[in-house]
Amino acid sequence: MAAFDLSLYLVTDRSLSLGRPLETVVEEAVRGGVTMVQLREKDASTLDFYNLAMKLKSILKSYNVPLIINDRLDIALACDAGGLHIGQSDMPYSVARKLLGKDKIIGLSVESIQDAIDANNLDVDYIGISPVFGTQTKTDTAPALGLEGIGEITRISGHPSVGIGGINLTNAQDIIQAGADGISVVSAIMSAPDPQQSARQLKEIINKSKNK
């Protein structure tokens, strides 16, 4: 499997892009320091999702940033994406791994201590600890875990981890210092007036936090 860097992980949401094309926001974000991109499209048609995935994959290739597809195994296979991110109620991990093969990145959302313990029995490539804080961009999540939850989960987990949910410039440092390997953001970049600058500021915070 290709090496990957969880430090600044962008999850897309076209509804938050202030009317700008998704590929424009994503490319600016990657120029600013985003290290992974997850294409999340809950309402798109299969064709629209596939076309978007191919556009993003083409852009990201030149920056050596992996494209991760949220939930849709068929799209991940069809566009030969870098990997797949699944939640607790999505495709079973074992099935996803069998179909994608050992060379693809598979991430799994964990929403509780028990989820993290269960994930230790799977050879997933990373876990997304979700949600750290309450967020308006994803309303179907479990109760917020907080920084204490991040600390507990990263202590017991055998996998690299990224914090997800309500993360921005004001709390990014806390997530890393609590034990996560990276932060996952949506609106902090998607809705930023200057996505490149926002990504650069977040990356600086992450790097400083890791060096403390």
Query: Which candidate, 199, 162, 200, places its Cα nearest to that of 182?
Result: 162
Tell whether 60 is covered by a domain: yes
pLDDT value of residue 140: 64
| Residue 138 annotated as lining a ligand binding site | yes
Helices (H), 88-168: 93-100, 113-119, 146-156
Residue 3 lies in a domain: no
Kind and range of the H or E element at 185? strand 182-185
Residues 6+ apart with CB under 8 A from 47: none
Q: Confirm or deny that 186 is annotated as ligand binding.
A: yes
| Residue 40 labeled ligand binder | yes
Per-residue pLDDT in tens (0 to 9) along the chain, 212 residues: 678 999 999 999 999 999 999 999 999 999 999 999 999 999 999 999 999 999 999 999 999 999 999 999 999 999 999 999 999 999 999 999 999 999 999 999 999 999 999 999 999 999 999 999 987 666 666 789 999 999 999 999 999 999 999 999 999 999 999 999 999 999 999 999 999 999 999 999 999 999 87
Tell me if 66 sits within 8 A of 82, measured CB to CB: yes
Which residues fall within 8 angstroms of residue 50, CB to CB, at 6 or more apart?
Answer: 75, 78, 79
**Looking at the annotation, which residues are catalytic?**
40, 109, 138
In a domain, 2, yes or no: no
In this prediction, residue 143 carries a pLDDT of: 87
Is 90 part of any domain? yes
Type of residue at 37: V
Residue range 178-201, pLDDT digits in tens: 999 999 999 999 999 999 999 999
- Number of structural domains (the chain) is 1
Instruction: Flag whether 88 is marked binding.
Output: no
Q: Is residue 52 part of a domain?
A: yes
Q: Is the pTM of this model over 0.75?
A: yes
Whether residue 1 lies inside any domain: the answer is no
- Residue closest to 124 by CA, chosen among 109, 136, 141: 109
Q: How many CB atoms lie within 10 A of CB 138?
A: 17
Which CATH number goes with the domain that contains 108? 3.20.20.70
Residue 15 lies in a domain: yes
Which domain does 148 fall in, by range? 8-211
137 is in an annotated binding site: yes
What pLDDT score does 86 carry? 98
Tell whether 125 is in a known binding site. no
Residue 83 lies in a domain: yes
